């Protein structure tokens, strides 16, 4: 998704990924909900390009940690890039056939959480408690899977951690279909997880598994 400036020093804008057609026919999600959510993802890509263009021309001399235009733009860049990447992972891990976890990821979930059922309860509860994102991921330091929350203003981004399954719990992800009923939205999410994508992410890790 994200590419550096071109070798000749010119600005290289990033582009949004295409929406997978099968996401428009998922059980529990209306086409309109998915399309409107996809537009929000596109807006993060657009804003990332706008911010990076401004960063190429802004005066850095007045930069400071209390308030400055440069500080504001760098915060905006961090937010738009993070949300763009997480939206891509969210859409990528949707479109499954309603099966429960399969393959290596199921084996490791059971090993690290004790049972699939406990992991699912923890993931769902994290979804109800979160203000932005729920991420099942691999921690490179303790070599275990964890369910973490990200996106709230008081939550510091986790490093040395690779997302495997991503859930967006912002209201824009479900409000058209479910109003404020986040529980039902999470039910629909679980019915549509693409566990093949989750397993593929796991296989790509440089881990001891």
As annotated, the binding site for Mn(2+) includes 37, 87, 168, 172
Query: Looking at residue 173, what DSSP letter applies?
Result: G
Distance CA(101)–CA(197), nearest Å, equals 11
CA distance linking residue 43 with residue 48, whole number of Å: 8
Nearest Cα to 109, choosing from 99, 98, 123?
A: 123
- CB-based contact 70:58 (threshold 8 Å): yes
Give the burial class of 86: count Cβ atoms within 10 A of its Cβ; 0-12 exposed, 13-18 middle, 19 or more buried. buried
Reading phi first (left if > 0) and then psi (alpha if -120 to 50, else beta), residue 179 is in left
Read off the DSSP letter of residue 157: P
Binding residues, as ranges, are: 37, 87, 168, 172
Tell me, letter by letter, the H, E, C secondary structure of 36-90.
Answer: HHHHHHHHHHHHHHHHHHHHCCCCCCCCCCCCCHHHHHHHHHHHHHHHHHHHHHH
CA distances from residue 70 to 5, 49, 77, 157, 179 in whole angstroms, order as listed: 19, 15, 10, 21, 38
């Amino acid at each position: 998704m994200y590419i550096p400036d071109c070798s000749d020093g010119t600005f290289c804008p990033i582009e949004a990924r295409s929406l997978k057609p099968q996401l428009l026919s998922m059980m529990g999600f209306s086409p309109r909900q998915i399309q409107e959510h996809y537009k929000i993802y596109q807006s993060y890509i657009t804003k990332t390009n706008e911010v990076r263009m401004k960063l190429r021309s802004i005066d850095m001399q007045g930069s400071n940690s209390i308030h400055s235009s440069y500080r504001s733009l760098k915060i905006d860049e961090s937010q738009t890039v993070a949300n763009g990447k997480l939206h891509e992972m969210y859409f990528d891990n949707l479109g499954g056939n309603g099966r429960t976890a399969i393959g290596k990821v199921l084996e490791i979930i059971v090993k690290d959480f004790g049972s699939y059922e406990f992991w699912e309860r923890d993931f769902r509860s994290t979804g109800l408690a979160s203000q932005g994102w729920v991420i099942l991921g691999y921690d490179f330091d303790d070599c275990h899977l964890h369910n973490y929350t990200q996106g709230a203003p008081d939550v510091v981004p986790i490093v040395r951690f690779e997302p495997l399954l991503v859930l967006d719990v912002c209201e824009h992800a479900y409000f058209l279909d479910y109003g404020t009923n986040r529980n039902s939205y999470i039910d629909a999410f679980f019915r549509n997880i693409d566990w093949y994508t989750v397993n593929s992410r796991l296989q790509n890790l440089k881990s001891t598994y």
